[in-house]
A = this chain, B = another copy of it.
Amino acid sequence: MNQYLEFAIDLADRLQGQTGTNPSVGAVIVKNNRIIGFGAHLKKGESHAEIQALKMAGTQAEDATIYVSLEPCSHYGLTPPCSKAIIDSGIKSVVYAVKDQSLKNSGHEMLQEAGIEVSHEPSERAQALYNSFFQQQNTKLPFVTLKISTSMDGKVATDAKESKWITSKEVKQDVLNLRSQHDAIITGGMTVREDDPLLTTRSEELKDPKRIILTQQSDFNEELKIFKDENNPVIVMSDSNHFKVNENQNIEIVNKEGSNLKNVLYQLYEAGYAQIMVEAGPTLVSKFIEQDLVDQLIIYQAPKMIGGQGKYQYYQTNDVYPLSNSKLFKIISTEIIGGDLKIILRKK
């Protein structure tokens, strides 16, 4: 793999989680083996990666090569097409890693027709960055990651309400990082009432996600910490028509149908939330799994056995499913973090 294309992919990777329903893209411009410009798409509605890089390179861009993690766009969206800007800049050649299946007209062809050398150098790592973006183009649903912290035998709490202490502090830090890579976190009213969580990244260096609570009740206790931050109001979706915001609670009500999960997800995607993580208790977690709404599963398993008869297990359904009807995933990777096992799985 070309080192400059690798750098462009690194940039795209670095910016994941802050471009909303847009893909995260990196671009690097090189002339005579020297990098003369680079950039990345920072936020939906703002400049694309190629434009940032061209701006840095200025007039030097003439006869240079631009490396981009994703095929340059060819359409007028919120910003003019990057392919046009590349042509106007006098760039000599374009190298990109992933073909943009969502483009009506190929950027590759548009550039080629303007006399630019274009080459597609496929990269698995870059492809993995855009899987969820391409999926969303079809489904119009956010990419949903379900995060579960559990004992080896599938329990997420004990009678002593110890759900926070099942996994290690290193796992907690990993979860804070995960939050920063998502546009929003969905949780359930019960989790908020029982655990009083913040669901932020607890770091000034990490971007906080939007926090979304699905509840069937009509208000929340005034003192809950999650509602205290006036700079980051919480979205509440309640099934109650009479949801009441108490004094000093920073809450936005956006929907009265918190229990129709697929509708909730359509609505969130339309509002620009493309990467969503679910951190919730067994009731909500089980609904997401049972309704096939989980694209990615991140399970932290602590090497301990809690036992019991079924209480506190993260996946609960009325009946035991036969294997032909069980929910299938594929293991993508495993890693040991602070003595616990992190397993990443994707919907099969």
Q: Is the CB of A313 within 8 A of B313?
A: yes
Asked if A77 is an interface residue, CB under 8 A from chain B, the answer is no
Q: Is the CB of B305 within 8 A of A289?
A: yes
Residue in contact with A323 in the complex, picked from B162, B308, B322, CB distance below 8 Å: B162
Asked if A38 is an interface residue, CB under 8 A from chain B, the answer is no
Asked if A7 is an interface residue, CB under 8 A from chain B, the answer is no
Q: Is the CB of B303 within 8 A of A307?
A: no
Contacts of A315 in B (CB 8 A): 153, 305-307
Q: Is the CB of B345 within 8 A of A153?
A: no
Residue in contact with A314 in the complex, picked from B153, B162, B317, B328, CB distance below 8 Å: B153
Residue in contact with A319 in the complex, picked from B308, B329, B331, CB distance below 8 Å: B308
In the complex, residue of chain B having the shortest beta-carbon distance to the beta carbon of A159: B320
Asked if A266 is an interface residue, CB under 8 A from chain B, the answer is no
Q: Is the CB of A306 within 8 A of B289?
A: no
Interface size on A, residues (CB 8 A): 51
Q: Is the CB of B311 within 8 A of A320?
A: yes
Residue in contact with A303 in the complex, picked from B153, B305, B321, B330, CB distance below 8 Å: B330
Residues of chain A from 293 to 332 with CB closer than 8 A to chain B in the complex = 297, 299, 303-323, 326-331
Given contacts A158-B323, A162-B323, A320-B159, contact A329 B308 (CB under 8 A): no
Contacts of A319 in B (CB 8 A): 159, 307-308
Seen from chain A, the residues whose Cβ lies within 8 Å of a Cβ on chain B are: 151-155, 158-160, 162, 165-166, 286, 289-290, 297, 299, 303-323, 326-331, 334, 336, 339-341, 343, 345, 348
New A-B pairs, 10, CB < 8 Å, besides A289-B307, A308-B316: A152-B297, A152-B345, A286-B307, A290-B307, A303-B345, A305-B321, A310-B310, A330-B339, A334-B336, A341-B343
Closest 5 CB pairs of A and B: A310-B310, A307-B317, A308-B320, A154-B154, A305-B327
| 29 residue pairs A–B, Cβ–Cβ below 8 Å | A151-B326, A152-B345, A153-B314, A154-B313, A158-B326, A159-B319, A159-B320, A160-B323, A162-B322, A289-B307, A303-B328, A303-B329, A303-B330, A303-B345, A303-B348, A304-B326, A305-B315, A305-B321, A306-B321, A306-B326, A307-B320, A307-B326, A308-B317, A308-B320, A309-B310, A310-B311, A331-B340, A334-B336, A341-B343
